[in-house]
Structure 1
Amino acid sequence: GDSVYRYWTFNGRVPGPFIRVRVGDTVECYLRNAEDSWMAHNVDFHAATGPGGGAVLTTSMPGEEHAFRFKALNPGLYVYHCAVPPVAMHIAAGMYGLILVEPEDGLAPVDKEFYVMQGEIYTEEPFGTPGLLTESYDKLLNERPEYFVFNGHVGALTEHFPLKAKVGETVRIFFGVGGPNFTSSFHVIGEIFDRVYQAASITSPPLTDVQTVTVPSGGAAIVEFKCEVPGQYVLVDHALSRAERGLAGYLIVEGEEQPDIFG
């Protein structure tokens, strides 16, 4: 049977919606906490300059709504998350996402863009237990997750929504770590990142020809590569024991075989 978990979310999804603005834009955020919510929620934007990233201004009890605005002063790819104490619990329950602040000229065009975030789930029940799972505050405090996931649940980017591209296409992955606790060693098995915007700094020159990129909790990176050979590529955190706890995604590349490159 399936394992089921009660997530806390932004807009009913994990990660929350991908937000895309331009440097210098004023961003207006409206946050409404559902009537049937169990507790207060808010949002802290790492892209905002101001106390708490907006957390205090958006803190809403069940049934309440609040709004605030911030000016996006710095280009980059930034995490946002709920920051109601205990913050780690709200993040582990799914309340995280990414906001891209594009530079004045935007980003260079690519064929495919993907949004991937890594997170942890802490449950009383052992990994793989069927039925409704209970969140474990003890395991959270001791940083012992039962699950490591891409995009919210085991299988999200494998059997459910694999990434897809064609031979010859260029791919950009906006990658972030909600966490709340673990740093990712992000790697795509069988691919080399042509360009990596380390720490998601898009105003710095990218690193070139990179195998694995470190992405801290509450941080992000942008990786770009060209798909040269067809087949199935596996997205992992190269701390590979985590693959046994659910952390994997597929990029399926379709097209002609390329025996001069691989075969």
Structure 2
Amino acid sequence: MFFLWKIRSCFAIASLLCLLPFGALAEQPTIQATLTFAPKVPPPISRSTQARVVVDFEANEFTGELTHGEQYTYWGFNQSVPGPMIRVRQNDTVEFHLKNHKDNRFPHNIDLHAVNGPGGGAAVNLVIPGKKSIFSFKVLNPGLYIYHCASPVPNIPAHIANGMYGMILVEPEQGLPKVDREFYVLQSEFFTQPSTQPDLLELSMEKGLAEHPDYVVFNGKDGALTGDGALKAVAGETVRMFFGNIGPNSISSFHIIGEIFDTVYIEGSLKGAVNHNVQTTVVPSAGSTIVEFIVDVPGDYLLVDHSIFRVAKGAVGFLSVTGKEKPDIFKSIQK
């Protein structure tokens, strides 16, 4: 009788264990996030299970080139504007480590629009110079999301306008369709005035309040996507662009001259509305979009904000496409 009771007890325990969520039996594996700087994108996620993803950021206040011959007093993450791109999978748990460099003057934090929680995390991660904060969150909703600093000292707009922003991609559990090229492009405005140092610009709050930017740029500076920085592809390839607009004030009318977006994930949602055959897509301040298209013929294609006077302020870049001509699609006819 004791032997039969023991067998039944084992079966009962096994049945109960089967009813428990997997996470109760085994902890999620912990991995280090692969972070990339614009226009590079982290590689697609190949795993099919959830993970605990550790993300390491540092807030920096530094000097960098905004336009030819002019430096700017940037604030950014990981010594970059925009900050690194993060790529995770739906239902992952992110463990976010934020350091504030000891030489900084101001407290910093981070508000990730992918977070379901107070302040997008900013309510629990404000950190003074020389210190570090850690918090975690589960990514519930697939999509492309903006992140930015939301420190109230001296004020939130100053942190955003000075360069403390970037994007986080939450892939759906089934992943995204395979493409040949992926790019990370983020539009932003800069409101400048001379500082006390020669050839060094700093933020003008007055211009910001008046919503009169001196520069509207892609990837943090004038000319970032021109010359050696131009995006590159080969005719016949499928291109996916993760495009964001931090503002901090204006809406972007994103357009590529000579291309039509085959697929647009509206407002960066990956389980929402999808549009096709789109010429120009509207991206709100602190919003995003994902566009996909095939580059059919070689040539130089201009990325612009089609609020077209902004091109003169820097909102222009190049996608340089090489490869075989296709005269059945496009050709010049001499008369």
Q: Which TM-score bucket, shorter chain as reference?
A: over 0.9
Distance 2:223 2:255 in 1: 17
One-letter amino acid matched to 1:87: I
Mapped partners of 2:163, 2:259: distance in 1: 29
Alignment of 1:165-244 (within 5 A): 165-244=233-312
> 1:210-258: per-residue Cα shift (whole Å, max 9, x none)?
0000000111000000010100000000001000011111000000111
Structure 1 position 13, deviation (Å): 1.0
1:140 alignment partner in structure 2: 208
1:79 equivalent among 127, 146, 149: 146
Instruction: Write the letter of the residue equivalent to 1:84.
Output: S
Once residues 213 and 231 of structure 1 are traced to their aligned partners in structure 2, the CA distance between those partners, rounded to angstroms, is 22
Runs of 4+ with deviation above 6 angstroms: none
Deviation sequence 1:134-190 (CA, Å, 0-9, x none): 211111111111100100000101124111000010000000011111110000000
State the alpha-carbon separation in 1 of the partners of residues 130 and 289 from structure 2: 35
Aligned residue among 137, 146, 165 for 1:96:
165
Query: Which secondary structure does the structure 2 equivalent of 1:116 belong to?
Result: strand
- 2:183 matched to 1:118? no
The offset of 1:56, in angstroms, is: 1.9
Q: Give the drift of 1:205.
A: 4.7
Moved more, 207-216 or 81-90: 81-90
Which residue identity does 2:102 align to in structure 1?
E
Q: Which residue of 2 aligns with 1:158?
A: 226
Partner Cα separation in structure 2 for residue 244 and residue 237 of structure 1: 10
Query: Which amino acid counterpart does residue 88 of structure 2 have in structure 1?
Result: V
| Residues 237-256 of structure 1 mapped to structure 2, 5 A cutoff | 237-256=305-324
SS of the residue 2:202 aligns to: coil
Deviates more, 1:82-91 or 1:229-238: 82-91
Q: Given the alignment of the two structures, is residue 57 of structure 1 paired with residue 97 of structure 2, yes or no?
A: no
SS class of match (1:54):
helix
How far the C-alpha of 1:120 sits from its partner, in A, is 0.5
Q: Distance in 1 between matches of 2:151 and 2:208?
A: 15
Letter of the 1:98 counterpart:
M
Shift of 1:7: 0.8
- What is the number of equivalent residue pairs in this alignment? 259
| CA root-mean-square deviation | 1.1
Q: Could you tell me how far 1:204 is from its partner in structure 2?
A: 2.5
For residue 75 of structure 2, give the secondary structure of its aligned residue in structure 1.
Answer: coil
Could you tell me which amino acid in structure 1 is paired with residue 87 of structure 2?
Answer: R
- Larger gyration radius, structure 1 or structure 2: 2
Equivalent residue in structure 2 for 1:108, among 164, 177, 190: 177
Q: TM-score, normalised by structure 1?
A: 0.96
- Render the CA deviation track for 1:181-206: whole Å, top value 9, x for unaligned: 11100000000000000011111252
Q: TM-score, normalised by structure 2?
A: 0.76
Looking at both structures, which has the greater relative contact order when contacts are Cα pairs under 8 Å and sequence separation is at least 6?
A: 1
Task: Provide, for residues 82-109 of structure 1, a one-character-per-residue CA deviation record: whole Å limited to 9, x for no partner.
Answer: 0012211111111111100000101000
SS of residue in 1 equivalent to 2:124: helix
Paired with 2:118 and 2:330, the residues of 1 have a C-alpha distance of 52
Secondary structure of 1:124's aligned partner: strand
Question: Matches of 2:192 and 2:131 in 1, distance apart?
Answer: 29
AA in 1 matched with 2:234: K
User: Sequence identity of aligned pairs in percent?
Assistant: 56
The one-letter amino acid paired with 1:5 is Y
Gaps of 5+ in 1: none
CA offsets per residue over residues 2-51 of structure 1, 9 Å max, x none? Answer: 11111111111111111000000001110000111120110001000000
